[in-house]
């Protein structure tokens, strides 16, 4: 059987090149990530002692950094409106996004900002979604795949059916989340969900109302990450 010729411009190979470049960067404390300029992608690592997350911390110990807890992107302001003129080496898209994440962690009652590190890469805007997608598919981070809500912003006026996200139930403390309705999901259920996910067990379906809200919130997160 003859293999197809290698195409360096194949989408998968382009994505892998972005992944390789990002993972070659040294992690820095998330609390120190406020001075960079530009837009791009980032990988957040957890090294703390939150119950149920021991496999994540172990995967990042001794300089391994093999198990991200969250992966995201920050596109230049107006990036989704079209055009390729934005200079991704300028602006504060990445800095502002990471500052938002740092604030969420600092407000959580059971997390410590010093337990989080981040790798980031400034990337031309057309490659940012591709890089984010390949990284999420490769690592399947907990806060991307099983515990939604970390990337949420203050929704402003409370919607009648808006519940606290799973992330806010598991890590309470964000001021805006206290204004939202109690979730049908409990801390006990979500801790078990974390353990099941990290051990490779199938996850139970979430209540339909939570799945629908998560889909809506994910669209809002993408808009926020895209600088709109």
Q: What is the pLDDT of residue 6?
A: 72
| Token pair of 71 as six digits | 């992966």
Residue 34 lies in a domain: yes
**Residue 82: what pLDDT?**
47
Burial of 102 (0-12, 13-18, 19+ CB in 10 A): buried
Output the pLDDT for position 228.
Answer: 46
pLDDT of residue 79: 52
Alpha helices by DSSP H, 60-186: 93-107, 128-139, 142-145, 166-170
Report yes or no on 2 lying in a domain. no
Domain-embedded: residue 1: no
pLDDT at 214: 82
Tell me how far apart the alpha carbons of residues 96 and 217 are, in angstroms, rounded to a whole number.
19
CB atoms within 10 A of CB 18: 22
Task: Give the span between the Cα atoms of 139 and 128, in whole angstroms.
Answer: 17
Domain count, the chain: 1
| Residue in 220, 224, 163 with CA at minimum distance from that of residue 190 | 163
Does residue 15 sit within a domain? yes
Look at residue 119 in the predicted model and tell me its pLDDT.
97
Burial class (CB in 10 A: 0-12, 13-18, 19+), 73: buried
One digit per residue, the tens of pLDDT, for the chain of length 228 reads 457 787 777 888 888 999 999 999 999 999 998 788 899 999 999 999 998 999 999 999 999 999 999 999 999 875 554 445 456 677 899 999 999 999 999 999 999 999 999 999 999 988 999 999 999 999 999 999 999 999 998 877 666 568 999 999 999 999 999 889 999 999 999 999 999 999 999 999 998 888 888 888 787 766 666 554
Output the pLDDT for position 85.
Answer: 46
Residues ≥6 apart with Cβ < 8 Å to 6: 13
Where in the chain does DSSP place strands (E)?
28-29, 40-46, 70-74, 116-122
The answer as to whether 183 is a domain residue is yes
CA angle 99, 104, 108 (to 5 degrees): 145
Range of the domain at 154: 11-225
How far apart are alpha carbons 206 and 209 in whole angstroms? 8
Residues facing residue 42 across a β-bridge = 72, 120
Which letter, b or e, does each residue of 127-157 get, where b requires 16 or more Cβ atoms within 10 Å of its Cβ? bbbbbbbbbbeebebbbbebbbbbbbeeeee
Q: What is the pLDDT of residue 158?
A: 60
User: 3 lies in a domain?
Assistant: no
Instruction: Look up the CATH number of the domain holding residue 166.
Output: 3.40.1440.10
């Amino acid at each position: 059987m003859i293999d197809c010729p290698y195409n360096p411009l194949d989408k998968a190979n382009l994505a892998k090149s972005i992944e390789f470049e990002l993972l070659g960067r040294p992690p820095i404390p998330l609390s120190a990530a406020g001075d960079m300029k530009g837009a791009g992608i980032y990988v957040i690592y957890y090294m703390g002692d939150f119950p149920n997350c021991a496999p994540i911390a172990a995967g990042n110990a001794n300089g391994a950094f093999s198990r991200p807890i969250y992966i995201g992107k920050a596109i230049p302001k107006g990036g989704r409106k079209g055009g390729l003129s934005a200079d991704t080496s300028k602006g504060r898209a990445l800095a502002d996004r990471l500052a938002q994440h740092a604030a969420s962690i600092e407000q959580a009652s059971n997390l410590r900002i010093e337990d989080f590190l981040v790798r980031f890469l400034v990337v031309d805007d057309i490659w940012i979604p591709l890089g984010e997608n390949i990284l999420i598919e490769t690592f399947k981070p907990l806060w991307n795949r099983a515990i939604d809500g970390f990337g949420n912003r203050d929704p402003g006026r409370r919607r009648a059916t808006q519940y606290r996200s799973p992330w806010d139930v598991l890590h309470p403390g964000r001021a805006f989340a206290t204004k939202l309705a109690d979730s049908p999901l409990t801390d006990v259920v979500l801790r078990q969900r974390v353990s099941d996910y990290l051990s490779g067990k199938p996850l139970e379906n979430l209540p339909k109302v939570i799945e629908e809200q998560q889909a809506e919130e994910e669209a809002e997160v993408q808009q926020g990450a895209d600088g709109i």
